[in-house]
């Protein structure tokens, strides 16, 4: 659990610092434009392109994760993320090399997305498949806190960078968060080298159920399950990205608040995630993962309206409350994703099935949410359309959860290793 958690923390730290930089810094450095809104939109779009290579990463790493094992893939994904993030910190800007600057930035961003496409599936599977059947919800939710810890670390580092004068921040200060990630990557690699292979994968290999082409098996027998997983994650992904990426743009453009103020609001609010994820994970071990997931998805239908209304007060305490409420709904939905979504696939194709479904959902949710919301804000001048957009994602995930079930499980908490490959197709 620790090796998975530390690696996930590092991966999402690297991913989060790009989102922060895209919201606040990259527009003048890499996407200069006469219209500030256009530059911001281009910068946020560069954040979105990282999600384009996530499905490819899910396909490639899912294949090798189901063929060669989870451990090797986890080491490769972390190393690739570290190299691409470090490279961003060394890039020249537009004024130095012209159009080559945004091109190189986007290439590095695409490599980040490719890495994360295989990271999450491997990390949660290593934890869930090592856990007892009655602790999978809790242990999986603890690994999910890695994304939030990575976010907090990214915000803390950028909060320090924001204390620099503007000329120093734009010349060299913005590079620091990207360069220091190399230290974290070394720690993560050491932890992951110590891992033992997943017992579920080892059992599948011993029983001869490992597939030569896991993707073909998934497409032939589990395509409906993959699509339900993809739709199921949309609401949580959109809520998290809106709160951690777009909120900074919204605070600056719509509320007239500086970046430091918005980060100071966001950071304490993340305590709700760190507290609620394990609580909801533990609750799912008692009542089942599906009821907790459905409750979280339903909450994300209504909470975006409360979040924006509280943000518009511009009062610090109420803004923190708005973030906390949104994060509670997000936590209920996201806490059970590892235990829920992994067990709807049989062990022999679990890495491939979960990674593809999870990644497709993030592309549909996380990737376009900031840019689409920036366009809605520019077009309508109001947050209502954005809240409605987020509510639709909540309804979609709620519908997916109503159809997505763990096969051959009366309690939806059966040990995954006992699920025969031939009965692995989830009820639609």
> Does the pLDDT of residue 363 top 70, yes or no?
yes
Closest CA to 30 of 12, 11, 47: 47
> Does the pLDDT of residue 397 top 90, yes or no?
yes
pLDDT of the residue at 38: 65
> Does the pLDDT of residue 426 top 50, yes or no?
no
> Does the pLDDT of residue 154 top 70, yes or no?
yes
pTM: 0.78
Domains of the chain: 2-193+208-423 (1.20.1250.20)
Rounded average pLDDT over 62-72: 84
Q: What is the DSSP string of 329-369?
A: HHHHHHHTHHHHHHHTS-GGGHHHHHHHHHHHHHIIIIITH
Looking at per-residue pLDDT, the higher value among 81 and 418 belongs to: 81
Q: Residues near 390 by Cβ (< 8 Å), separated by ≥ 6?
A: 235, 238, 239, 242, 300, 304, 369
Ramachandran angles phi, psi of 234, nearest 5°: -60, -45
Rounded average pLDDT over 157-165: 84
Closest CA to 247 of 234, 261, 233: 261
pLDDT of the residue at 414: 37
- As given in the structure block, the two tokens for residue 244 are 């951690």
Contact 123, 8 (CB under 8 A): yes
Looking at per-residue pLDDT, the higher value among 394 and 165 belongs to: 394
> Does the pLDDT of residue 305 top 60, yes or no?
yes
Q: What percent of the chain has pLDDT over 70?
A: 93
What are the angstrom distances between the C-alpha of 70 and each of 133, 150, 273, 351? 19, 22, 27, 8
Q: Predicted confidence band at 256 (pLDDT cuts at 50, 70, 90)?
A: confident
Predicted confidence (pLDDT) per residue in 179-213, tens digit: 988 888 888 888 888 777 777 777 777 777 777 78
Closest CA to 29 of 174, 176, 164, 178: 174
pLDDT of the residue at 313: 94
Predicted confidence (pLDDT) per residue in 226-251, tens digit: 999 999 999 999 998 899 878 888 88
Predicted confidence (pLDDT) per residue in 5-15, tens digit: 887 888 778 87
Q: What percent of the chain has pLDDT over 90?
A: 27
Q: How many CB atoms lie within 10 A of CB 160?
A: 12
> Does the pLDDT of residue 391 top 90, yes or no?
yes
- Alpha-carbon gap, residue 42 to 18, rounded angstroms: 14
Chain mean pLDDT for the chain = 84
> Does the pLDDT of residue 423 top 60, yes or no?
no
pLDDT of the residue at 284: 93
> Does the pLDDT of residue 171 top 70, yes or no?
yes
Predicted confidence (pLDDT) per residue in 101-133, tens digit: 888 888 888 888 888 888 878 888 888 888 777
Q: How many CB atoms lie within 10 A of CB 32?
A: 15
Rounded average pLDDT over 356-365: 84
Contacts within 8 Å (CB) and 24+ apart, 379-383 = 383/250, 383/254, 383/308, 383/311, 383/312
Rounded average pLDDT over 288-305: 96
Q: Predicted confidence band at 425 (pLDDT cuts at 50, 70, 90)?
A: very low
- Alpha-carbon gap, residue 215 to 71, rounded angstroms: 19
């Amino acid at each position: 659990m620790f090796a998975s958690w530390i690696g996930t923390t590092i991966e999402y730290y690297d991913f989060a610092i790009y989102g922060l930089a895209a919201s606040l810094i990259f527009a003048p450095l890499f996407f200069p434009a006469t219209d500030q809104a256009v530059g911001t939109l281009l910068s946020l779009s560069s954040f979105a392109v990282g999600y384009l290579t996530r499905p490819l990463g899910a396909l490639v790493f899912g294949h090798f994760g189901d063929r060669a094992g989870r451990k090797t893939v986890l080491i490769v994904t972390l190393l690739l993320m570290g190299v691409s993030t470090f490279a961003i910190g060394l890039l020249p800007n537009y004024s130095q090399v012209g159009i080559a600057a945004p091109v190189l930035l986007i290439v590095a961003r695409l490599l980040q997305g490719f890495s994360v496409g295989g990271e999450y599936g491997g990390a949660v599977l290593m934890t869930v498949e090592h856990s007892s059947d009655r602790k999978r919800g809790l242990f999986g939710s603890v690994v999910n806190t890695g994304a939030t810890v990575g976010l907090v670390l990214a915000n803390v580092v950028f909060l320090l960078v924001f204390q620099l004068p503007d000329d120093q921040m734009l010349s060299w200060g913005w590079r620091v968060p990207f360069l220091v990630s190399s230290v974290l990557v070394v720690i993560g690699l050491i932890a992951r080298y110590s891992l033992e292979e997943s017992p579920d994968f080892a059992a599948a290999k011993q029983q001869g159920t490992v597939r030569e082409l896991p993707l073909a098996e998934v497409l032939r027998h589990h395509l409906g399950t993959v699509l339900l997983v993809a739709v199921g994650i949309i609401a949580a992904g959109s809520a998290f990205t809106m709160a951690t990426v777009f909120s900074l743009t919204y605070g600056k453009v719509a509320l007239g608040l500086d970046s430091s103020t918005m980060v100071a609001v966001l950071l304490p609010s993340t305590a709700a995630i760190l507290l609620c994820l394990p609580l909801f994970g533990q609750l799912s071990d008692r009542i089942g993962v599906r009821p907790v997931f459905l409750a979280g998805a339903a909450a994300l239908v209504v909470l975006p309206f409360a979040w924006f209304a509280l943000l518009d007060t511009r009062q610090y305490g109420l803004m923190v409350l708005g973030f906390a409420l949104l994060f509670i709904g997000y936590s209920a939905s996201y806490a059970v994703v590892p235990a829920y979504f992994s067990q709807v696939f049989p062990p022999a194709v679990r890495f491939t099935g979960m990674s593809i479904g999870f990644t497709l959902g993030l592309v549909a949710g996380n990737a376009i949410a900031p840019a689409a919301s920036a366009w809605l804000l520019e077009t309508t001048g109001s947050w209502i359309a954005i809240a409605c957009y987020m509510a639709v994602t909540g309804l979609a995930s709620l519908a997916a959860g109503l159809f997505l079930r763990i096969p051959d499980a009366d309690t939806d908490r059966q040990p995954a290793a006992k699920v025969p490959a031939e009965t692995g197709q989830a009820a639609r």
